[in-house]
Structure 1
Amino acid sequence: MRNFLKHVKRSAAVCAAALAGISLFPGTALAQSDGSRAGQGDGSRAIAPVVGGTRATQGEFPFMVRLSMGCGGALYSKTIVLTAAHCVNGSGPNTSITATAGVVDLQGSGAIKVKSTRVLQAPGYNGTGKDWALIKLARPIDLPTLKIADTTAYNNGTFTVAGWGAAREGGPQQRYLLKATVPFVDDATCKSAGGSYAGLVANEEICAGYMQQGGVDTCQGDSGGPMFRKDNTGQWIQVGIVSWGEGCARPGKPGVYTEVSTFAGAIRSGAAQLGG
């Protein structure tokens, strides 16, 4: 487990409980005190909203989900949300989470709210790598789902990130969904950022961001949300899950995401186990 004061998950839950103040968009989001993005501007890795982003339009990303513990997620199926492991507390029955979908404005009248029934956290998750989890919903949400990558062919180019997290490091959570684009950063370059990045877990984590200038990233509250791009047929495909970063949108400090293709088989098996 990475040192929490250096490397914070990008989930608002962890921030609220430990550091209070996460940004979601251009950095990453945290949910638990295990080193994911959840801290504020003290050099720690905190979960935050999309920094350097702009508002998404209604219906632009219909698979986006906001989770009541302060994380994001995406509809893997109509009854299952794919999010980050650090956003949940283990596996088993869980009716405490509310998923909000169908709107970019969390206070919008058309918001669909559904309770959870069960959670599956990635087997073997210990705060480093394997940062994925599934949340089973009490009833289906009739919206488009986001397919996941099962090959590394899409681990390149430019990605889209979106979330309701902080729009700046240490800032408040957002009412409106923000979006931004970030470029792929190869493992060697990401590790060269030093600090917690030197411990990047190859094949389990993927980096993205503007290494030289920074300015765009996910942040506190964005944890668990998807990093996605278009596939060869022009459809959205999820390549990463917002996990952690040192601060938000800092030069030389890219966002770190769960490498979805590595866990595609396990995610599918987990979804089948949950009946989704």
Structure 2
Amino acid sequence: MNLNKNMLLVLAIYVCAAYGQSNPEDDIFDDSGPTVYTTAPPSPAPPSPAAPSDCRLPDKQQGSCVAPSSCKTPNHGENRVHFRQNNCPENTMCCVLSDIIIVTSRNQTPTPPIETTTTPTVAPNIGGTQAPTKGCGVRNRNGGGGFKIKDKIQRAMFGEFPWTVAVYEFKPDGGLRYTCVGSLIHPRVVLTVANRFLEEDVTWKVRAGVLDLENKRRARYLDQLRDVVSAVTHDSFDSGIGIYDVGLLFLDSDILQDVHIDYTCLPEPSVVTAPATKCVVSGWGSDKYNGPMENVQKEMNLPVVDRQTCQTSLRAAMKNPEYDVDPTLICAGGNGKDTCTGDGGAPLVCPYPDGRFYQAGITSWGYLCYQKDVPGVYVDVASVRPWIDEQVRAMGYDTSYYTH
């Protein structure tokens, strides 16, 4: 492949610490039960990370968070292709130090405290080697508990996608900074992207069973917060051409199965998701390019796009006639809906004939966001299923949790 690596290495204005604004008056949260919520005791602070203005590109190059106009990018950013998360404040991008024209510092907005709990109200305590009780891929179309949200954006219902989890960076001040999305495939394993987890000396946490990241809508079914003890990324991950962007997060203790927390299925290596298959992705990313994050989980129905159509669209958008869509990637969207800033790692799930869902893709990258007739690019989970099984078994865990 002859894709200009600079086009993929330049990350577009990702706001992983700042949350979007929502209007409570536009929302209706129907909860007939009592509100029960507790706050987990703060964990010990890890060693202080680099200053907020510092960042690292996916290939581990040192960079700095600057305004897009201050970074020497191809055509001053007109052809900017990006991975769908970053660690820079709003309206900035991670620029390699040698490409900075003018360094513009911007203080990071403090993240509001996030109430969490490690004790669910209703949950069987399943062990790390015990088989699941009801099988993977069960979507709660009416919500996990019947809660409904009504507003102007297509929102997921509470517990509708019980495998979708939020991943956070634990900050020195004890706060949590939203980073990206993941999917629960085992009580102690989360499937996500690779490009955010190449840094060392960073403490990560996973939050399951949450709908609203700011807890403005509290449910009687509690969320669960767990520490990440190790992150494994694919050895063949290449940030230049955007392939094998897959990682696994291993947790310190089980995330307990509940009415709103469960596992997604993963396809067998032989599975090929047919073009035009109607799939759905869930996450908290922006609803427009360079827009604010969403507090409440949203869902988007995206059709799978065949590789040739996707390749033609991306070549035209990126003005690169040599670009080829790798066989380990799949494309979806281009129908006016798209994943975007902060959706990295979000699961793209498609239906089995029996109504259960399997994760066909992992949200990875795209050309800007919401471009007409330009699909987003996802890791083809079937192509990396053998690697996932190998890593999970190496930890002594059972792969039946995500096997249909």
Larger Rg: 2
The aligned residue for residue 370 of structure 2 is 249
Do structure 1's residue 258 and structure 2's residue 382 form an aligned pair? no
Do structure 1's residue 81 and structure 2's residue 190 form an aligned pair? yes
Deviation at 1:16, TM superposition (A): 4.9
Do structure 1's residue 234 and structure 2's residue 235 form an aligned pair? no
Kept after mapping to 1: 8 A contact 2:189/2:249:
yes
d(CA) in 1 for partners of 2:165 and 2:5?
26
The aligned residue for residue 178 of structure 1 is 298
Q: Which runs of 5+ in 1 are unaligned?
A: 24-30
TM, length-normalised to structure 1: 0.81
Kept after mapping to 1: 8 A contact 2:273/2:304:
no
Do structure 1's residue 219 and structure 2's residue 340 form an aligned pair? yes
1:148 to 266, 279, 282: 266
The SS at the match of 2:393 is: helix
How many pairs align?
Answer: 254
Kept after mapping to 2: 8 A contact 1:84/1:242:
yes
Do structure 1's residue 137 and structure 2's residue 258 form an aligned pair? no
Q: CA RMSD in A?
A: 3.2
Kept after mapping to 2: 8 A contact 1:119/1:133:
yes
The aligned residue for residue 26 of structure 1 is none
The SS at the match of 1:123 is: coil
The SS at the match of 1:68 is: strand
d(CA) in 2 for partners of 1:168 and 1:56?
18
* Distance change (3 Å), C-alpha of 1:235 and 1:255: same
The SS at the match of 2:304 is: strand
Q: Which runs of 5+ in 2 are unaligned?
A: 21-54, 60-66, 69-76, 86-151, 170-178, 398-404
* Distance change (3 Å), C-alpha of 1:16 and 1:173: closer
TM, length-normalised to structure 2: 0.57
Kept after mapping to 2: 8 A contact 1:161/1:179:
yes
Q: Which has the higher strand share?
A: 1
1:216 partner amino acid:
K
1:45 to 78, 81, 86: 81
Deviation at 1:7, TM superposition (A): 3.5
The SS at the match of 1:148 is: coil
The aligned residue for residue 27 of structure 1 is none
The aligned residue for residue 97 of structure 1 is 204
Deviation at 1:203, TM superposition (A): 1.9
- More relative contact order, 1 or 2 (CA 8 Å, 6+ apart): 1
